[in-house]
Structure 1
Amino acid sequence: MEAIPTDPPVHVHSIAGKASCCYVDSMNVAFDMGVNFVKSVVQDHVFISHGHIDHIQALPAHAAERQLTGMKPATYYMPSHLVPHMQQIMVSYSKMQESDIAAVLVGVDAGSVVHISPKVAVKAFATAHRVASLGYVAYSISKTLKGEFVGLPGRELGALRKQNVVLEDITWVPSVAYTGDTCIEFFDQHDRCADFLRAAVLVTEVPISGDLALTVCAKCTFLGDTSAESKADETGHLHLNQLARRMHRFVNSSLVLTHFSARYSFQDIQDTLTRQLLPPPHDANDEAVRRIFMAYGDRWVALTRPPSPPAPPAVASDKPTQS
Structure 2
Amino acid sequence: MREILSSDRPVDNAPYLKHHHAGLTIEGYSRAAVQSYWRVPELKIGFDLGAVPWDYTGTPTWFISHSHLDHIAALPVYVARRRMMRMEPPTIYLPAVVLDDVQRLLLIMQRLDRGRQLANLVGLEPGQEVELSREHVMTVFETTHTIPSMGCVIWDRRKKLREEYVGLPGEQIRDLRLSGVDITREVRVPLLGFTGDTSPAGIDNYPPIFEAKVLITELSFIREGHRREKIHKFGHMHLDDFIERKDRFQNELIVAGHFSTRYHADEIRKVLNRKLPEPLRSRLKIWL
**TM-score normalised over the length of structure 2:** 0.87
- Which letter does structure 1 place at the counterpart of 2:285? F
Query: Any idea what the Cα deviations from partners look like across 1:93-129, whole Å, max 9, x if unmatched?
Result: 1111212121110100101111010001111001111
8 Å contact kept, 1:13–1:35: no
Structure 1 match to 2:146: 130
CA distance in 2, matches of 1:137, 1:123: 5
- Which letter does structure 1 place at the counterpart of 2:218? E
CA distance in 1, matches of 2:167, 2:78: 47
Structure 2 match to 1:76: 92
Q: Secondary structure at the match of 1:46?
A: strand
8 Å contact kept, 2:79–2:118: yes
Structure 1 match to 2:188: 172
CA distance in 1, matches of 2:162, 2:218: 40
Cα drift, residue 130 of structure 1: 1.5
- Which letter does structure 1 place at the counterpart of 2:61? H
CA distance in 2, matches of 1:266, 1:40: 26
Query: Any idea what the Cα deviations from partners look like across 1:243-280, whole Å, max 9, x if unmatched?
Result: 2111111010001100112333222211122222147x
Q: Which moved more, 1:194-203 or 1:263-272?
A: 263-272
CA distance in 1, matches of 2:271, 2:56: 30
Return closer, same or farther for 1:165/1:38 CA change in 2, 3 Å cut-off. Answer: farther
Structure 2 match to 1:4: 19
CA distance in 1, matches of 2:194, 2:154: 8
Alignment of 1:188-199 (within 5 A): 188-189=204-205, 192=206, 194-199=207-212
| Match of residue 284, structure 2, among 285, 288, 292 | 292
Structure 2 match to 1:272: 271
Cα drift, residue 152 of structure 1: 4.1
- Which letter does structure 1 place at the counterpart of 2:210? L
8 Å contact kept, 1:252–1:290: no
CA distance in 2, matches of 1:125, 1:269: 29
| Match of residue 121, structure 2, among 98, 105, 117 | 105
- Which letter does structure 2 place at the counterpart of 1:202? L
CA distance in 2, matches of 1:182, 1:41: 27
Q: Does 1:260 align with 2:259?
A: yes
Structure 2 match to 1:43: 59
**TM-score normalised over the length of structure 1:** 0.78
8 Å contact kept, 1:253–1:290: no
8 Å contact kept, 1:110–1:134: yes
8 Å contact kept, 1:183–1:233: yes
Q: Secondary structure at the match of 2:202?
A: helix
Structure 2 match to 1:224: 224
CA distance in 2, matches of 1:15, 1:61: 20
Number of residue-to-residue matches in the alignment:
271
Cα drift, residue 294 of structure 1: 0.9
| Match of residue 88, structure 1, among 87, 100, 104 | 104
Cα drift, residue 141 of structure 1: 1.0
CA distance in 2, matches of 1:198, 1:124: 15
- Which letter does structure 1 place at the counterpart of 2:193? A
Cα drift, residue 186 of structure 1: 2.3
- Which protein shows a greater Rg? 1
Return closer, same or farther for 1:251/1:95 CA change in 2, 3 Å cut-off. Answer: same
Cα drift, residue 197 of structure 1: 0.3
Gaps of 5+ in 1: 209-215, 217-222, 280-286, 297-323
Gaps of 5+ in 2: 1-15
Cα drift, residue 137 of structure 1: 0.5
Q: Secondary structure at the match of 1:248?
A: coil
Cα drift, residue 9 of structure 1: 2.2
CA distance in 2, matches of 1:106, 1:142: 26
Alignment of 1:173-252 (within 5 A): 173-189=189-205, 192=206, 194-208=207-221, 216=222, 223-225=223-225, 228-252=227-251
- Which letter does structure 1 place at the counterpart of 2:236? H
8 Å contact kept, 2:79–2:89: yes
8 Å contact kept, 2:45–2:62: yes
- Which letter does structure 2 place at the counterpart of 1:242? D
CA distance in 2, matches of 1:105, 1:228: 38
Query: Any idea what the Cα deviations from partners look like across 1:160-217, whole Å, max 9, x if unmatched?
Result: 334331122211111110111111122333xx2x110010011111224xxxxxxx2x
Q: Secondary structure at the match of 1:202?
A: strand
Identity of aligned residues (%): 28
